[in-house]
């Protein structure tokens, strides 16, 4: 089975690009921040420097590990689902679920190892940049030298490998035990409800804090993140509700392509979670954090003070964390959407044989992407605002900062571009296959 | 039953389908090759059709038979505008299909041609009724729902309108495909082994439906089949061997068809039947 895993990796390297990228980013980030622990562990380092380094090293730690896990899990689930046919064939030729599991887990482990090795150099560079930042701000003494050592390496390999193998194990278990959907949906609903509760609590805490409290931003930002996660969990249901209201008028306006798009989305809503979730997370988290940062900067400026070094560091770290989350969400979004669209070549073929022109098929994919983006952006914006408005009220005594619409438009532009461009470009490629060949078996 | 080309003022066309010297060559890699008969690396190309010329009158039911790989599917797909022949012309209902790009062909096909595939090719996310009316919607034509329901009733699916394809048996799916091919009132319906995946009884029902499309609705049907019983439902049988026409049989009976099939190899290179006219 391990040989089989290696062979399938060699033959279809493109299929693992998404997982490789997710694992690479994850390993690079984990090692970058953990190398700060290595640096802090050097002998003769003063206490203040060590504390700063260890604190910063830990900032991304928890979130980072969780994100790496989700990103790898999402890309792997897509790869496994794409290969359902191949796995079915292997099973019919006598492979046991255990053997299939070993194959997929083996592949994931190899990909994770390769990704981590590739990530070592970028992580070293990233760590150096971080340390340089601390040198400049004076938070770490100039004579502290950068070190990349056992802590970074073991965290990088450990987190990436564990996340990959765990995610592969779960993905394959799900795939080989078809027909047991209900518990998963219930689990997701439970998780979503908990996240919503936690988020609401975090956001409410904001009102109990003082306008100049240094930790004012934390509960609001984390509340927005949790609300995004909660709404993301319920996004398929909300998509269905949206289609129930807007489906008919949309189909009437958008013609045959819109008609097909609405039907496809309505009947596949559950499967679209993998695309909607990163969209909601991306919009919600980016809106909340970027706008809050703008409010904070304005407030400091308005009070007549200049930004302290710590304020600046806080801002940079904030932006780094958001950047990481946003990049991961984008990778997940593009990967899921690419895979889902590439998988539909046969369906496109059937539509063309029924009389759809290539332009109508592209129009359908574009309409689906648009509806998905609208749903994701609506939910994400709701979560983002829920965190942002209380923070702005307490900090600046207004409901929304003036820059909010512009920041929001920028975020939406990125979301629309990522979704629509990925879907349409992938569909366009799928249309190059002649329709008759596209519907033939084993295309 | 009015004929649509009369509506457009072309006058009735007695000829539903005409192929003139149609040739198709496949390269081994799967892509289309150049002109047939071209020399060069002969090993890597397959001449699927070799100068096929035929003419079918409106309102006829023709079966196409021949050994596996003899070019039957290629013939049907070229005639239906699904594949582009390398040479020759195809005329459906007085209009040439060999011109135009994929979009133009799609527009032409969805109004004039119905195609029934062995593997049904229904859309999995659409219900029976939605699948049936899809060609009309794609063509932005008014969807006559009572008419669609009536056709589905005729094919015996009146109580399954809201089902999705994967809730239907193979025979039922093929009947949906036939209803979908009928709903646009096309000039010609092509069917490639429509009974290939069906049991005996479902196969009979599907054949009776095709027969009815001809006798009741005045359509022209061209059907590829390996089954002499299926061929006996047709008015005439065309035999194909090695990409060439290898004879025909009018008013076919099961035994006569089986007999001809058995001796098909002997006739192939006995030249002298370059053209075929269905006798109706
Ligand atoms: N896309 C393709 N690429 C290359 N060769 C092809 C292609 N399609 C068909 N052929 C070849 O063209 C010839 C005719 O194929 P066709 O599918 O028309 O046969 P058929 O009579 O329908 O056979 P069957 O009864 O098995 O369906 C065969 O030799 C086949 O291998
Ligand atoms: Mg065939």
pLDDT value of residue B7: 40
- Residue among A255, A347, A349 minimizing CB distance to B140: A255
A56-63's contacts with Cβ under 8 Å and 24+ in sequence apart are A56/A130, A56/A134, A56/A317, A57/A33, A58/A33, A59/A33, A59/A317, A59/A321, A60/A29, A60/A30, A60/A33, A60/A320, A60/A321, A60/A324, A61/A33, A61/A34, A63/A321, A63/A325
pLDDT in tens, chain A (443 residues): 566 666 666 666 666 787 888 889 889 988 998 899 999 988 888 888 888 888 778 766 666 677 777 788 878 877 777 777 677 777 777 777 778 788 888 888 999 999 999 999 999 999 999 898 888 878 888 888 999 999 999 999 998 998 888 888 887 777 666 544 555 677 888 889 999 999 999 899 888 888 877 778 888 888 998 999 899 989 988 899 989 888 888 888 888 999 999 999 988 887 788 889 889 999 998 999 889 888 888 888 888 777 776 776 677 777 777 788 788 888 888 888 888 888 888 899 999 999 899 999 999 999 999 999 999 999 999 999 999 999 999 988 888 888 899 999 999 999 999 999 999 999 999 899 888 888 875 43
d(Cα A146, Cα A37) in Å, to the nearest integer? 10
Packing angle between helix A217-233 and helix A273-302, nearest 10 degrees? 160
Q: In chain A, how many domains are there?
A: 2
Q: Do A256 and B138 lie within an 8 Å CB cutoff?
A: yes
Domain that holds residue A46: 1-180
Cβ–Cβ gap A353/B121 under 8 Å: yes
Average pLDDT of the residues of chain B: 83
Are B117 and A267 an interchain contact pair (Cβ–Cβ within 8 Å)?
no
- Tell me the Ramachandran region of residue A138: left when phi exceeds 0, alpha when psi lies from -120 to 50, beta otherwise: left
Long-range CB contacts (within 8 A, 24+) of B94-99: B94/B5, B94/B10, B94/B13, B94/B15
Give me A200's structure tokens. 């609401």
Confidence (pLDDT) at B4: 42
Residues 6+ apart with CB under 8 A from B218: B1, B3, B58, B59
pLDDT of residue A55: 79
Query: Whole-angstrom Cα distance, residue A311 to residue A317?
Result: 10
How many Cβ atoms sit within 10 Å of the Cβ of residue A17?
A: 15
Tally DSSP H helices, then E strands, for chain B.
Answer: 10, 11
Quick check: B2 pLDDT over 80?
no
* Per-window interface: B 25-64 vs A, CB < 8 A: 30
Distance from CA of B102 to the nearest CA of A (A): 7
Residue among A425, A431, A414, A438 nearest A366 (CA):
A425
pLDDT number for residue A357: 92
Residues A164 and A217 in one domain: no
The protein residue with its alpha carbon nearest to ligand 1, atom 4, reads B30
The single residue listed with the structure tokens 């604190």 is A55
Interchain CB contacts (distance < 8 Å): A and B: 62
Mean local confidence (pLDDT), B78-97: 90
Cα distance between residue B67 and residue B61, in whole Å: 20
Q: CA A57 to CA A320: how far, in whole Å?
A: 13
Which DSSP string corresponds to B27-94? ETTSSB-SSTT--S--TTEEEEEEEEEEEEETT-EEEEE-STTSSHHHHHHHHTTSS--SEEEEEETT
Residue B129 near residue B152 (C-beta atoms within 8 A): yes
Q: What is the pLDDT of residue A185?
A: 73
Higher pLDDT residue, A139 or B225? B225
Chain A CB contacts of B126 below 8 Å: 263
What distance in Å separates the CA atoms of residue A177 and residue A188, rounded to the nearest whole number?
Answer: 18
Q: Does B140 touch chain A (CB under 8 A)?
A: yes
Query: Strands, E, within A285-415: which ranges?
Result: none
What phi and psi values does residue B116 have, to the nearest 5 degrees?
Answer: -115, 120
> Are both A321 and A431 inside the same structural domain?
yes
Domain segments of chain B as ranges? 58-81+99-277
Any A CB within 8 A of B145 CB:
no
Environment class of residue A38 by beta-carbon count within 10 Å: exposed (0-12), middle (13-18) or buried (19+)? Answer: buried
Q: What is the DSSP string of A320-349?
A: HHHHHHHHHHHHHHHHHHHHHHHTTHHHHH
* Distance of CA B64 from the midpoint of ligand 2 (Å): 10
Token pair, residue A389, equals 């408005």
| Residue whose CA is at the smallest distance from ligand 1 atom 27 | B68
H, E, C per residue of A37-58: HHHHCCCCCCHHHHHHHHHHHH
Does the pLDDT value for residue B35 go beyond 80?
no
Strand B188-192: give its sheet, edge to edge. Answer: B113-116, B188-192, B220-224, B61-65, B236-241, B244-250
Same domain? A149 vs A190: no
pLDDT of B266: 61
pLDDT at A182: 52
Q: Select the residue of B82, B109, B140 nearest A436 (Cβ to Cβ).
A: B82
**Same domain? A139 vs A192:** no
Interface test with A, best of B136, B138, B166 (most A CBs within 10 A): B138
Smallest CA–CA separation between B21 and chain A, in Å?
23
State residue A11's pLDDT score.
Answer: 62
Instruction: Count other C-beta atoms under 10 Å from residue B201's C-beta.
Output: 9
Q: Which has more confidence, A283 or B98?
A: A283
Yes or no, beta carbons of B125 and A267 under 8 Å apart: yes
pLDDT in tens, B184-209: 889 899 999 888 878 888 888 889 98
CB contact (8 A) between residue A259 and residue B121 = no
* Fold assignment, B58-81+99-277: Rossmann fold (3.40.50)
Chain A residue at shortest CA distance from B114: A354
Residue A368 has a pLDDT of: 93
Flag if A354 and B139 touch (Cβ within 8 Å): no
Instruction: Give this complex's ipTM.
Output: 0.80
Do residues A31 and A163 share a domain?
A: yes
Do A107 and A225 have their domain in common?
no
Q: The pTM is what? A: 0.81
Asked if A298 and A368 sit in the same domain, the reply is yes
Instruction: Please say if the pLDDT value at position B29 is more than 80.
Output: no
Counting ligand 1 atoms within 8 A of each CB, the residue from B28, B43, B63, B72 with the most, and so the one to mutate, is: B72
Tokens of B83: 């594949």
Distance B247 CA to ligand 2 centre (A): 19
Rounded percentage of chain B residues whose pLDDT exceeds 90: 49
> What is the spatial distance between Cα A36 and Cα A151, in angstroms, rounded to a whole number?
9
Same domain, A289 and A402: yes
Pocket of ligand 1 (CB under 6 A): B 26, 30, 46, 48, 66, 68-74
**To the nearest whole angstrom, how far is the Cα of A351 from the nearest Cα of chain B?**
7
Domain end marker among A127, A146, A180: A180
Task: Determine the distance separating the centroid of ligand 2 and the alpha carbon of B153, expressed in angstroms.
Answer: 30
Q: Tell me the nearest-neighbour CA distance from B45 into chain A, angstroms.
A: 18
Asked if A230 and A297 sit in the same domain, the reply is yes
A335 and A350, same structural domain? yes
Q: For residue B82, which residues of chain A lie inside 8 Å, CB to CB?
A: 353, 435-436
Q: How far is CA B86 from CA A145, A164, A440, B74, in A?
A: 72, 51, 22, 12
Task: Find tokens 């008919």 and name the residue.
Answer: A248
> Of A162, A180, A198, which marks where a domain is finished?
A180
Sequence-distant contacts of B31-36: CB under 8 A, at least 24 apart: B32/B84, B32/B86, B33/B86, B34/B86, B35/B86, B35/B87, B36/B86, B36/B87
Distance CA A342, CA A7 (A): 22
Q: Does B166 touch chain A (CB under 8 A)?
A: no
The domain boundary, picked from A145, A180, A215, lies at A180
CA B37 – CA B86 distance, rounded (Å): 11
> Best of B31, B85, B123 to disrupt the A interface by mutation (most A CBs within 10 Å)?
B123
Domain identity same for A195 and A136: no
pLDDT recorded at residue B5: 40
Strand partners, B19: B54, B90
Question: Are A50 and A123 part of one and the same domain?
Answer: yes
Q: Which of B225, B219, B256, B177 lies closest to B75, judged by CA?
A: B225
Residues 6+ apart with CB under 8 A from B172: B157, B160, B202
Nearest CA to ligand 1 atom 31: B69
């Amino acid at each position: 089975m391990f040989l089989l895993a290696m062979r399938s990796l060699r033959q279809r390297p493109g299929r693992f690009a998404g997982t490789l990228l997710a694992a690479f980013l994850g390993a690079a980030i984990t090692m970058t921040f953990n190398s700060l622990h290595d640096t802090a562990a050097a002998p003769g380092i003063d206490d203040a420097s060590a504390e700063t380094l260890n604190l910063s090293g830990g900032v991304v730690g928890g979130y980072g590990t969780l994100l790496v896990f989700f990103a790898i899990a999402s890309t792997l689930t897509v790869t496994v689902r794409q290969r359902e046919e191949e796995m079915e064939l292997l099973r019919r030729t006598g492979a046991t679920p255990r053997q299939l599991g070993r194959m997929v887990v083996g592949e994931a482990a190899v990909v994770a190892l390769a990704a981590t090795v590739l990530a070592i150099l970028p992580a070293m560079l990233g760590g150096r940049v971080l340390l340089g930042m601390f040198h400049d701000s004076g938070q770490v003494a100039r004579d502290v030298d950068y070190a990349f050592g056992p802590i970074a390496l073991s965290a990088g390999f450990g987190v990436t490998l564990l996340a990959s193998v765990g995610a592969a194990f779960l993905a394959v278990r799900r795939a080989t035990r078809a027909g047991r959907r209900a518990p998963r949906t219930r689990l997701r609903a439970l998780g979503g409800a908990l996240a919503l509760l936690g988020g609401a609590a975090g956001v409410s805490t904001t009102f109990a804090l003082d306008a100049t409290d240094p930790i004012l931003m934390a509960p609001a930002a984390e509340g927005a993140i949790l609300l995004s996660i909660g709404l993301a969990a319920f996004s398929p249901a909300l998509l269905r509700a949206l289609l129930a209201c807007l489906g008919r008028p949309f189909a009437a306006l958008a013609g045959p392509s819109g008609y097909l798009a609405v039907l496809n989305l309505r009947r596949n809503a559950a499967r679209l979670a993998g695309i909607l979730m990163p969209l909601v997370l991306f919009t919600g988290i980016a809106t909340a954090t970027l706008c809050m940062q703008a409010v904070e900067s304005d407030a400091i400026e308005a009070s007549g003070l200049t930004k302290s070094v710590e304020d600046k560091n806080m801002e940079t770290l904030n932006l780094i964390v958001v950047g990481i989350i946003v990049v991961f969400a984008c990778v997940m979004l593009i990967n899921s959407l690419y895979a889902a669209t590439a998988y539909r070549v046969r369906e496109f073929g059937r539509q063309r044989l029924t009389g759809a022109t290539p332009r109508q098929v592209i129009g359908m994919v574009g309409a689906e992407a648009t509806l998905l983006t609208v749903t994701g952006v609506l939910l994400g914006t709701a979560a983002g605002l829920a965190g942002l408005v209380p923070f702005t009220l307490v900090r600046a005594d207004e409901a929304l900062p003036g820059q909010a619409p512009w920041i929001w438009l920028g975020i939406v532009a990125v979301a629309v571009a990522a979704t629509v461009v990925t879907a349409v470009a992938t569909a366009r490629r799928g249309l190059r296959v002649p329709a008759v060949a596209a519907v033939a078996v084993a295309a | 039953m009015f004929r649509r080309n009369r509506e457009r003022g072309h006058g009735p066309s007695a000829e539903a389908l005409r192929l003139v010297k149609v040739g198709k060559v496949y390269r081994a890699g799967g892509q289309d090759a150049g002109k047939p008969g071209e020399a060069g690396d002969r090993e890597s190309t397959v001449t699927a059709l070799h100068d096929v010329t035929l003419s079918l009158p409106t309102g006829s039911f023709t079966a196409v038979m021949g050994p596996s790989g003899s070019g039957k599917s290629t013939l049907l797909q070229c005639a239906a505008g699904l594949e582009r022949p390398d040479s020759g012309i195809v005329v459906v209902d007085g209009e040439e299909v060999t011109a135009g790009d994929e979009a133009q062909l799609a527009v032409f096909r969805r109004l004039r041609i119905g195609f029934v595939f062995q593997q049904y090719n229904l859309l999995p996310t659409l219900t029976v009724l939605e699948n049936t009316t899809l060609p009309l919607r794609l063509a932005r034509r008014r969807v006559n729902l009572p008419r669609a329901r009536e056709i589905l009733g005729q094919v015996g699916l009146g109580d399954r309108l809201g089902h999705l394809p994967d809730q239907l048996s193979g025979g039922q799916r093929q009947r949906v495909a036939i209803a979908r091919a009928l709903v646009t009132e096309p000039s010609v319906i092509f069917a490639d082994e429509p009974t290939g995946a069906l049991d005996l009884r479902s196969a009979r029902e599907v054949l009776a439906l095709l027969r009815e499309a001809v006798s009741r609705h005045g359509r022209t049907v061209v059907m590829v089949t390996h089954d002499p019983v299926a061929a006996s439902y047709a008015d005439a049988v065309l035999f194909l061997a090695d990409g060439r026409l290898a004879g025909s049989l009018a008013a076919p009976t099961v035994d006569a068809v089986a007999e001809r099939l058995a001796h098909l190899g002997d006739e192939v290179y006995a030249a002298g039947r370059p053209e075929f006219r269905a006798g109706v």
